[in-house]
Structure 1
């Protein structure tokens, strides 16, 4: 009985990552592909251009512009301009004033 429980637990542990990974590999819908193509065209990519010599560079540049635009409007992450202060400055205590360091007894 004990080995049966171990076998079931082991099977669940092995199958759990496979099930979660399978859910993330959904194919794109036709509408999603169309929206991506529209975004690329707005970023400057022309799928009708017959210049095969610059094809990979053109689409990669358009994809980079779309990715930058999506990152700028996502509202997640990124650097925030400005500054912040935490706490207040504490003046140092001089040793000559008779105060001992907090580490002096150690």
Structure 2
């Protein structure tokens, strides 16, 4: 009887974890095609026989993100001021 209670309790506690496992909806074919068109307009050629595959698609993605105003390093605030890097403590130099 205790085994049944423990099993029921374990299932009840594990259910919320499983229900929130997939929150992002899948990408549609149209979204993938639109992303490919953006990459091709940024200079990426998927049919080229280039041995530098990762670098050329990464460069095209960087150009697409730069054109959209996004940056991997952050941006400037709405006021136009930037944040300076934090200096290291004197003992860690």
SS at match of 1:47: coil
Instruction: Compute the TM-score of the two structures, normalised by the length of structure 2.
Output: 0.56
Inter-partner Cα distance in structure 1 for 2:13 and 2:75: 35
Q: Which residue is 1:23 aligned to?
A: 23
Inter-partner Cα distance in structure 1 for 2:19 and 2:75: 32
Inter-partner Cα distance in structure 2 for 1:30 and 1:66: 19
Inter-partner Cα distance in structure 1 for 2:16 and 2:10: 10
Q: Over aligned residues, Cα RMSD in angstroms? A: 3.0
Q: Gaps (5+ residues) in structure 1?
A: 84-106
Does 2:37 align with 1:38?
yes
Q: Which residue is 1:62 aligned to?
A: 60
The Cα of 1:54 is off from its aligned counterpart by: 2.1
Instruction: Compute the TM-score of the two structures, normalised by the length of structure 1.
Output: 0.50
- Give the ranges of 4+ consecutive aligned residues of structure 1 lying more than 4 Å apart after TM superposition: 6-10
Inter-partner Cα distance in structure 2 for 1:78 and 1:10: 46
SS at match of 1:53: coil
